[in-house]
């Protein structure tokens, strides 16, 4: 993670390698979209970074998934404290799968459950595997990163 001075990281943008490493961690993603009245709508969700974008899996009646199916403009924030690492993504949502049972979303959801909950994570999903889900891909237009904390350098 970035150039270090003692125990502190010199604040600045992440390298490509640091970005990939960070996105493979367990930070929650907050996805923002526009609701039916034109207001911002933000929710925390799990994500899977692959194919140079962000896969999101939403239940059939998830408002955020419905909103993204109508208006594809999306913004993602993934961040951690106290180390201060953040990734901000402006992107476009692509509906890969409308709500269905047993689609490509299943493997992505299992991968996310393992990453967020550990090796037994997919057990968490099993009781709901017959609930239809969306598979949405956020294709980045712009990615901004930051890491480090100036106060830790003093």
Alpha carbons 147 and 61: distance in angstroms, whole number: 35
Q: What angle do CA 33, 35, 37 make, to 5 degrees?
A: 145
**For residue 154, what pLDDT is reported?**
52
Bond from prior residue into 82 cis (ω within 30 degrees of 0): yes
pLDDT for res 8: 55
Rounded CA gap, 28 and 2, in Å?
21
Q: What is the pLDDT of residues 6-27, one digit of tens each?
A: 555 679 999 999 999 999 999 9
Q: For residue 10, what pLDDT is reported?
A: 77
Closest CA to 50 of 138, 115, 110: 138
CATH among 3.30.70.20, 2.30.110.10, 3.40.1550.10, 3.40.50.720 for 4-143 = 2.30.110.10
Whole-angstrom distance, CA of residue 10 vs CA of residue 113: 33
Domain boundaries, the chain: 4-143
Q: Give me the residue label for tokens 């933000």.
A: 42
pTM of the model: 0.91
Looking at per-residue pLDDT, the higher value among 84 and 153 belongs to 84
Strands (E), the chain: 4-5, 8-9, 29-34, 40-45, 48-50, 53-59, 73-80, 85-100, 133-147
Backbone angles phi, psi at 96, to 5 degrees: -85, -40
User: Can you give the pLDDT at residue 110?
Assistant: 96
5-9, 42-46, 58-62, 107-111: which range is least confident on average? 5-9
pLDDT at 7: 53
pLDDT digits (tens, 9 = 90+) for 89-144: 999 999 999 999 999 999 999 999 999 999 999 999 999 999 999 999 999 999 99
What band does 149 get if pLDDT is binned at 50, 70 and 90? confident
Residues β-bridged to residue 54 = 49, 138
């Amino acid at each position: 993670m970035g150039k270090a001075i003692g125990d502190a990281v010199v604040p600045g943008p992440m390298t490509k390698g640091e970005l990939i490493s960070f996105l493979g961690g367990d930070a929650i993603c907050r996805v923002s979209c526009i609701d039916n009245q034109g207001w911002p709508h933000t929710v925390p969700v799990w994500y899977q970074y692959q194919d140079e974008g962000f896969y999101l899996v939403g239940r059939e009646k998830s408002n955020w998934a419905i909103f993204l199916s109508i208006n594809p403009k999306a913004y993602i924030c993934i961040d951690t404290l106290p180390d201060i690492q953040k990734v901000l993504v402006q992107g476009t949502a692509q509906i890969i799968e409308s709500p269905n049972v047993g689609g490509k979303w299943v493997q992505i959801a299992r991968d996310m459950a393992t990453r967020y909950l550990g090796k037994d994570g997919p057990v968490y999903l099993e009781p709901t595997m017959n609930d239809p889900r969306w598979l949405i891909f956020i294709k980045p237009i712009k990615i901004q990163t930051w890491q480090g904390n100036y106060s830790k350098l003093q």
